[in-house]
Structure 1
Amino acid sequence: MRIPTPDLERLTGDELFWARVRRGGTPLVEDLGDGTCAVTFLWRGEQAPTLAVNRLGEAAMERVPGTDVWHATYRLTATHRASYRLGTGGPTPGAAGGDGRRGDLTGGVPRGNVTGGVPRGDVAGGGPFGGLGPDPLNARRLPGRWGGQDASVFALPQAPAERWPRREGVVRGTVVHHDGVRVYLPATDLTGLLPVLVLLDGDMWFGGLGFHHTLDTMIAEGALPAMAVLAPEAADNATRWRDLTADDAYLSYLADDLLGRSRWPITSDPGRTIIAGQSLGGLTALYAGLRRPDRFGRVVAQSPSLWWRPGMAHTVPKTPVGGVPWMVEQYATARRGPISVHLDVGSHEGPMVGYSRELRDVLRARGRAVSLNEFTGGHDYACWRVALADALAR
């Protein structure tokens, strides 16, 4: 919900105020004492800027009269984490919010027609707000992808902590690039077969996100056993659409080639093999557990694209699936297999929340081990990178 901004007309002429802003960064956060915070974004310049927060849509910022200062303040739940972009470039022409809808904020949710919680272009690097960029007053960044602009990140005081950040003094594993796959090997004597994680969209995770630093810390602190990670890259959105929509050829590559013919010392035990993915990658992780439980015993599906069904055109934005999602139907009729499934979904992902709950209930009714984490946020690597570490540590 948009709320009045604190007394910026008085503060913005105070150089001590700007010194504090430069030192502490933006957005400015005020605890309102009721489980919510006033979150104020700032911009300086003559042109009117646009603010775009992941899954909350776009908003025009307001000018402090007689100054070059622009602002927008929202009331958000104190557990919220999100990426955002702002600037005077404006959204990509014809683009809507991260899920294919426009709108201002009402309680942190866009007003108007909710069109299925489906991202435009899935998780493309530039996204719908490709004309915008990171906040120059915020040093916390989320890397762009495929040449897209970086975004900035905020986490409110009660957001889940990043428990395993990069730490100095931790022995580092190694990351090598082999045939379109990022391969992480832990810093340990390789005297036996390692448990293995197949992590989709490896270019993102082992590029700007630097997930190898998280793995180093988790292994050093005993939150994870020493493990290998095989992380296939995606060259572009067209590649993701081709490979990550329940494609049997790609699944065979993952199970039989990437794992089955691996040159690295990894286990063949499905109980020690995890597959994890986000968005369409989450859909693929679920499909792998469904079709190849002989190879994948643990599934981590973050914001899985449960709106997808066979025959759907690769165009955006998407419409709600209507009825029971296809992947839910598959699990409802499949033979019970010895797999466990962990689901993550953001509270601002619209119908995706209901789809994820429906899948959880079906899995539970079928006697499968399943857990669901609903975080306060959207369809967002800023949230997924924290939740993935937590899921792996379970």
Structure 2
Amino acid sequence: MSPRFPLNGSPDGGEPHAPGGQPVTPLVETAGTAGRHRVTFLWRARSEDEQAVVLINTLTDRDRHAGDISGHVMHRTPGDDMLRLTYELDADLRASYQILPCAEIPGTDRDSWLRVMMTALPDPGNPVRIPGSHGRNPSSLLELPGAPAQPYRDRRPGVPEGRVHESGTAGRRVWVYTPPGHGASGDGPGRGAAGPYPVLVLLDGDVWAGRIAPTMDNLIAEGRIPPMAVLLPDAVDRPTRLREMACHEPFVRHLAGELLPWAVREWGVTDDPALTVVAGQSFGGLTASYAAFTAPERFGNVLSQSGSYWWSDEDPEWLTRRYERVPRLPVRFHVEAGRLEWMLLEENRRFAEMLAAKGYEVTFTEYNGGHDPACWLGGLAGGLTGLAAGWL
């Protein structure tokens, strides 16, 4: 978890410091309002002219859409080279954030913000990092004391470890997580396995390939899920992702007709849709739900996080209405979204309510956070545990 210190937490009454003189940040103290904390971010300016902006996932972006990010600009302490900014935030917030050092405050138009997203930096005083994706720098992790636990996130000593293999099929790079003991007695990736194994197809595999193994290992070791494999198809690049993750039937047919049969042959996974989960975040959550709509004979479980159910601009909430118009499919759902996801929370609520009204088995979870990888890893563990509860 992120370091937490009171504002006057060091022995000399000043701020605590990391090696090299950088303050350990963010600084957290109880606010006067019940259920809130004061959180102070610090940045040591490298010149007299340098300014800085705190980019808290969702909070800053919401104000950016409103055209005013002045509330996120850090201010200089008189007689010091330190810039600082204090927020009062709910005590159960979990969020990723970055800091943007700049000579002048950036504009709020889309092109300016795309440049901000590619150049903002992690907090040098916070050692807890979240890997960047699609060419972006890493982010730092803010976890306030009341944030829900993510007990399966980090590697635990002594827990048997599965393996992540880099492979490919049909011209696409795919990473494959195999649980401890998979293929132990064989001479190939799927030979000697004790399967067939339940399988999770986790979209945006390039983002998750380096992060998913500890969570799977811990869940399996605790008996929360059975030993299962994870297929992690590469999103390739941004243009490909934007095309394939927008209810694109050829991509779903690739997953159902090429990726999964390949994994059955080569990695010992099941071909039972009831033991197959497709999962994704943002457009990946939309695509996971579309995959089950298009190929319910192959995808019997959907784990959608922050799904982009607003899609599309020409026909808003297209997929929600498609589900509403057809008889109930043999698919189970776990849907979750952050209460700070002001651009898609209502759409996620309506999607889950529609499923429930049609008789689907669906759980819907809201958390205090945004459209944020800091929240998704913990939510992935919880959603997968719920969907796999009857498989043990």
TM-score (norm 2): 0.83
- Candidates 156, 162, 171, aligned match of 1:173: 162
Does structure 2 conserve the Cα–Cα contact (< 8 Å) formed by 1:49 and 1:88? yes
2:30 maps to 1:26: no
Aligned equivalent of 2:234: 233
RMSD after superposition: 2.7
Aligned equivalent of 2:66: none
Aligned equivalent of 1:145: 133
Percent same amino acid among aligned pairs? 39
Deviation by residue 1:220-272 (Cα, 9 ceiling, x = unmatched): 11111100000101122111111111111110110111112321101111110
Closer/same/farther in 2, CA of residues 293 and 91 from structure 1, 3 Å limit: farther
Aligned equivalent of 2:189: none
TM-score (norm 1): 0.82
Does structure 2 conserve the Cα–Cα contact (< 8 Å) formed by 1:92 and 1:129? no
User: What is the CA–CA distance in structure 1 between the aligned matches of 2:296 and 2:102, rounded to whole Å?
Assistant: 47
1:91, CA displacement in angstroms? 9.4
Does structure 1 conserve the Cα–Cα contact (< 8 Å) formed by 2:26 and 2:40? yes
Closer/same/farther in 2, CA of residues 219 and 159 from structure 1, 3 Å limit: same
Deviation by residue 1:175-219 (Cα, 9 ceiling, x = unmatched): 111121010000125223000000001111113xx2111111111
- The amino acid of 2:249's aligned partner reads D
Aligned equivalent of 1:297: 300
2:120 maps to 1:132: yes
Q: Secondary structure at the match of 2:117?
A: coil
Q: Secondary structure at the match of 1:261?
A: helix
Can you give the 5+ residue segments of structure 2 that lack an aligned partner in the other structure? 61-68, 183-192, 387-392
Aligned equivalent of 1:52: 55
Q: Equivalences for 1:87-236 in 2 at 5 Å?
A: 87-89=100-102, 94-95=107-108, 128-164=116-152, 165-179=154-168, 180-189=173-182, 190-207=193-210, 210-236=211-237
User: What is the CA–CA distance in structure 1 between the aligned matches of 2:314 and 2:23, rounded to whole Å?
Assistant: 50
Does structure 2 conserve the Cα–Cα contact (< 8 Å) formed by 1:342 and 1:372? yes
- The amino acid of 1:132's aligned partner reads A
Does structure 2 conserve the Cα–Cα contact (< 8 Å) formed by 1:91 and 1:130? no
Does structure 2 conserve the Cα–Cα contact (< 8 Å) formed by 1:341 and 1:371? yes
Q: Secondary structure at the match of 2:41?
A: strand
1:337, CA displacement in angstroms? 1.2
Aligned equivalent of 2:272: 269
Does structure 1 conserve the Cα–Cα contact (< 8 Å) formed by 2:9 and 2:16? no
Does structure 2 conserve the Cα–Cα contact (< 8 Å) formed by 1:290 and 1:334? no
User: What is the CA–CA distance in structure 1 between the aligned matches of 2:304 and 2:330, rounded to whole Å?
Assistant: 17
- The amino acid of 2:35's aligned partner reads G
Aligned equivalent of 2:344: 352
- Candidates 99, 112, 126, aligned match of 1:86: 99
Q: Secondary structure at the match of 2:195?
A: coil
2:375 maps to 1:362: no
Q: Secondary structure at the match of 1:266?
A: coil
- The amino acid of 2:158's aligned partner reads G
Closer/same/farther in 2, CA of residues 173 and 13 from structure 1, 3 Å limit: closer
1:43, CA displacement in angstroms? 1.0
Deviation by residue 1:40-98 (Cα, 9 ceiling, x = unmatched): 111111322111110111511011111111111111111111111113147996555xx
- Candidates 14, 17, 21, aligned match of 2:14: 17
1:279, CA displacement in angstroms? 0.6
User: What is the CA–CA distance in structure 2 between the aligned matches of 1:289 and 1:202, rounded to whole Å?
Assistant: 18
Deviation by residue 1:21-41 (Cα, 9 ceiling, x = unmatched): 669931111123611111111
Deviation by residue 1:332-375 (Cα, 9 ceiling, x = unmatched): 11221121111111111114111111111110110001111111
1:14, CA displacement in angstroms? 8.6
- The amino acid of 1:161's aligned partner reads A
1:292, CA displacement in angstroms? 1.2
Does structure 2 conserve the Cα–Cα contact (< 8 Å) formed by 1:52 and 1:129? no
- The amino acid of 1:148's aligned partner reads R
Larger RCO: 1 or 2 (CA < 8 Å, sep 6+): 1
User: What is the CA–CA distance in structure 1 between the aligned matches of 2:363 and 2:55, rounded to whole Å?
Assistant: 31
Closer/same/farther in 2, CA of residues 7 and 167 from structure 1, 3 Å limit: closer
Closer/same/farther in 2, CA of residues 56 and 310 from structure 1, 3 Å limit: closer
- The amino acid of 1:166's aligned partner reads R
Count residues with an aligned counterpart: 349
2:66 maps to 1:37: no
- The amino acid of 2:42's aligned partner reads L
Can you give the 5+ residue segments of structure 1 that lack an aligned partner in the other structure? 1-5, 103-119, 121-125, 313-320
1:170, CA displacement in angstroms? 1.3
Does structure 2 conserve the Cα–Cα contact (< 8 Å) formed by 1:82 and 1:382? yes
